[in-house]
Amino acid sequence: GEDVEQSLFLSVREGDSSVINCTYTDSSSTYLYWYKQEPGAGLQLLTYIFSNMDMKQDQRLTVLLNKKDKHLSLRIADTQTGDSAIYFCAVEGGTDKLIFGTGTRLQVFP
């Protein structure tokens, strides 16, 4: 089955850029997603990218997709303390069910 991996933890200084990486094994996903989960809350859809695109920019967020290497990344520019959360990438598995990555905990320090 589909395997989606992320690094567990990322720590950045406020104002710097953060890059969260995601690798997956199945390339059939039409759309790939990024979700944010703050403590005690549900998942917030941040952005998504169509599989025939290489890049998508949405304000401080930039998504890069390398289909050849099956690699997805999320760049957050000018990272703020409010960006501290767990970030999940998600790809569409068989029958378009979402398969979530393992999650990356982003910690922003002053």
Partner 1 sequence: DTEVTQTPKHLVMGMTNKKSLKCEQHMGHRAMYWYKQKAKKPPELMFVYSYEKLSINESVPSRFSPECPNSSLLNLHLHALQPEDSALYLCASSHNPPGGGNQPQHFGDGTRLSIL
In the complex, the residues that contact partner 1 under the rule CB under 8 A are: 30-31, 33, 35, 40-45, 48, 50, 88, 95-98, 100-103
What is the distance between the alpha carbons of residues 96 and 110, in angstroms, rounded to a whole number?
40
Distance of CA 81 to the CA centre of its chain: 18
| Closest separation in Å from C-beta 88 to partner 1 | 6
Q: Which is nearer to partner 1, 17 or 25 (CB)?
A: 25
Q: Which is nearer to partner 1, 10 or 35 (CB)?
A: 35
Q: Which is nearer to partner 1, 40 or 110 (CB)?
A: 40
What is the distance between the alpha carbons of residues 47 and 16, in angstroms, rounded to a whole number?
20
| Closest separation in Å from C-beta 100 to partner 1 | 4
| Closest separation in Å from C-beta 39 to partner 1 | 11
First to last CA, the chain: 41
Strand order in the sheet with 18-24: 4-6, 18-24, 71-76, 61-66, 55-58
Q: Which is nearer to partner 1, 83 or 101 (CB)?
A: 101
| Closest separation in Å from C-beta 50 to partner 1 | 8
Does an H or E element contain 76, and which? strand 71-76
